[in-house]
A and B are shown apart, each in its own frame.
Chain A
Amino acid sequence: MTRIFSLVLALLVFAVAPALADEELNLFAWSEYVPQAVLDGFTKETGIQVNYETYASNEEMLAKLLSGAASYDLIQPSEYTIEALVKEKQLLPLDHKKIPNLKNIGKEYWNQPHDPKLEYSVPYMQGTVGIVVNTQKIKHPVLGYVDVFQPANKGRIVVLDDALEIVTWALAANGLGPNDVTKANLEKIRPTLQKWLPLVKVYDSDSPKTALLNGDVDLGVVWSGEAAILINEQPGKFSYTLPKEGAHMFIDNLAIPKGAENKDAAHQFINYVLRPDVSVQISKEFPYTNPNVEARKLLTPAERANPASYPPGNPKLATFRDIGPMSADVDKLFTDLKAKSGS
């Protein structure tokens, strides 16, 4: 009898325990971007449970956030989405007093146009989009977009399945900046894309490294973090170059959306991931450029020398701005030319 009683008691404790865990943090972030060890470490130190829900694009995040179906305490948008969210008053201002580790963020990440004083967002990771080449298959140098999209490379190219990205490459090849997205310029770059798209073998934003690893393609234009993984996994086989016509960077940030229920926990989490010993764990697993200069010091020389993670010469790069309703035009142009590009 006592045994049954204690069993019931034990069950009750287990059933009630999660409800008793004092606090929860609802984190809505990119998939494959926050290491489990970081989440566990945070829970261990603060007792706050982290519920990590993931998305695969800024737009998917916006769709869920705006539907109001769930309440999130912390989101992880890229810079152009931060700009749009601030414009629409969808973010809460950060309390810098609660984030002393903010001092670890490199000074080049302040004064960015999307949030110059980091009032609403804190950089999480930064990356570039550049050219990755399997040097065992392609012996001549590939320095720019124009070198990638050559008829000789037909059927050997992987690119991101992302209309805005590809459009900005064509803008760069025509001497325009990544934010010169106007109807007139879209017409101007149409012939360039008409030439480029039939050469592409694979469109993949989620894991463009796969087609390169499998040997189905020999070069491509991909996220720097994907290229960094290739370079780490098969040293000497792959190279990474920022396109000579002009590259751009992206900054993924942590921000607190309007309606967050646990602002305190959100601030604590931001401060926690800004700690150098924590931040370096993220870098080890996802080798993008770490905006945390103190954390960079903890990397091995080899990791710091990876040209995809830390492009030599510290080039000054622009970010995307919010292009508002032009996004529909960009998408339509890309959809049209992709459909006409064969098959």
Chain B
Amino acid sequence: MRQEHTSFSAAAGSRREPGRAGWLLLAPLILWALAFVVAPAVIMLVYSFARRGTLGGVVLEFTLENYAGVFDPVYLQIVIRSILYAALTTAICLAAGYPVAFLIGRAEERWRNLLLMAVMVPFWTSFLIRTYAWVTILKSEGLLNSLLMQFQLISEPLQMLYTPGAVVLGLVYTFLPFMILPIYSSVEKLDGALIEAALDLGAGPLRAFARVIVPLTQPGIAAGVLLVFVPALGIYAVNDIMGGGRVDMIGNIIENQFKGNARNWPFGAALGTTLLVSFAIAYFYVNRRQRAVAQGMS
């Protein structure tokens, strides 16, 4: 174990620092990140401590009341609900996406590319158009209801659209590929010999799955969970279109501070900053756990 550890750090030490040419190549990326990631985040941070202007906009006077507002029960209930919806979406995506990713990853080469293509094809159409397509399917006089009535399975149209269930369906539909793709890339690298070894050494299929396959594909699972959970928490279009605007999530509240009646930019900025910080904490936590798991295994 100790030896392993030294060799690991030795490998890290031998990594070369980028030379001048390297920095030059990196410059566009660094500039891009500074201009479009760091600068907006700093502006948001500054605004979140300011007061609201009469017409919207901000008055640069220091105050903490925006952060007090984030923890006001009115908004806290929506934050909690958003987390629940995002967590449920992530869980369903994981349960539905893992087997698909596993099958694609273990499929024959020619099938694999075709199946991967099938996962990606929806991206060729705008996300909004695909969401409106669900409205056409789910509405009272829509495709699904008329089909069910045709086969006499129901006598009256079911209320499917504008329900919490429709929101979750929309979220799962939107984010499923973001779960499948990273898990797939982990499964693809999975060494089949290890599974065979586990089975040879007496592990049943369930045990082999839980003790060998899951730990080995854990980086993909972690990436998938982050890629689904984070955007699912902030999205607002799906709730508006498929939920009939009834299930406000934190994204709707933030949007409303800038584009709606509220006209309270600093509060919107405070909500945004709080989300950003929670994402950062979640990210570092997942990353550290993953490293711990990787070291524990080596």
Chain A residues proximal to chain B, CB less than 8 Å: 56-57, 59-60, 62-63, 66-67, 84-85, 87-88, 90, 155, 158, 161-164, 200-204, 211, 214-216, 324-325, 327-328, 330-332, 334-336, 338-343
Contact (A332, B74) CB under 8 Å given A66-B57, A201-B162: yes
Does residue B55 face the partner (Cβ distance < 8 Å to A)? yes
**Closest Cβ–Cβ distance, residue B211 to chain A (whole Å):** 40
Q: How far is the CA of A258 from the CA of B106 in the complex (A)?
A: 64
Residues from chain A with a CB closer than 8 A to the CB of B259 are: 56-57, 59-60, 63
Segment of B14-22, B122-130, B137-145, B187-195 in the binding face: B137-145
Contact (A163, B260) CB under 8 Å given A202-B245, A214-B140: yes
Residues from chain B with a CB closer than 8 A to the CB of A84 are: 54-55
Q: Would you give the 0/1 interface string for B178-207, flagging 1 where the beta carbon is closer than 8 Å to chain A?
A: 000000000000000000000000000000
Q: How far is the CA of A16 from the CA of B119 in the complex (A)?
A: 45
- Of B139, B142, B162, B163, the most chain A CB neighbours within 10 A belong to B162
**Closest Cβ–Cβ distance, residue B267 to chain A (whole Å):** 8
**Which 6 A-B pairs give the minimum distances between C-beta atoms?**
A203-B245, A202-B244, A331-B262, A60-B259, A336-B74, A215-B141
Residues from chain A with a CB closer than 8 A to the CB of B55 are: 62, 66, 84-85, 88, 90
Query: How many residues of B are counted as interface, with CB atoms below 8 angstroms from the partner's CB atoms?
Result: 40
Contact (A155, B159) CB under 8 Å given A214-B141, A343-B246: yes
**Closest Cβ–Cβ distance, residue B86 to chain A (whole Å):** 15
29 residue pairs of the A-B complex, CB under 8 angstroms, read A56-B259, A57-B259, A57-B260, A59-B260, A60-B259, A62-B57, A63-B258, A63-B259, A66-B57, A84-B54, A85-B55, A88-B54, A155-B159, A163-B261, A201-B244, A201-B246, A204-B240, A204-B245, A214-B135, A324-B54, A327-B261, A328-B264, A331-B264, A335-B75, A335-B248, A335-B253, A339-B81, A343-B243, A343-B247
Chain B residues proximal to chain A, CB less than 8 Å: 52-57, 74-75, 77-78, 81, 135, 139-142, 157, 159, 161-164, 240, 243-248, 253, 256, 258-265, 267
Is the Cβ of A66 less than 8 Å from the Cβ of B77? no
Q: How far is the CA of A163 from the CA of B258 in the complex (A)?
A: 14
Q: Which residue in chain B gives the minimum CB-CB distance to A202? A: B244
Other contacts beyond A57-B260, A66-B56: 10, CB < 8 A:
A59-B263, A62-B57, A63-B56, A162-B261, A211-B244, A216-B161, A335-B248, A338-B246, A343-B163, A343-B246
Name the contact of A330 in the complex, choosing from B157, B161, B261 (C-beta under 8 A): B261
- Of B74, B253, B256, B262, the most chain A CB neighbours within 10 A belong to B262
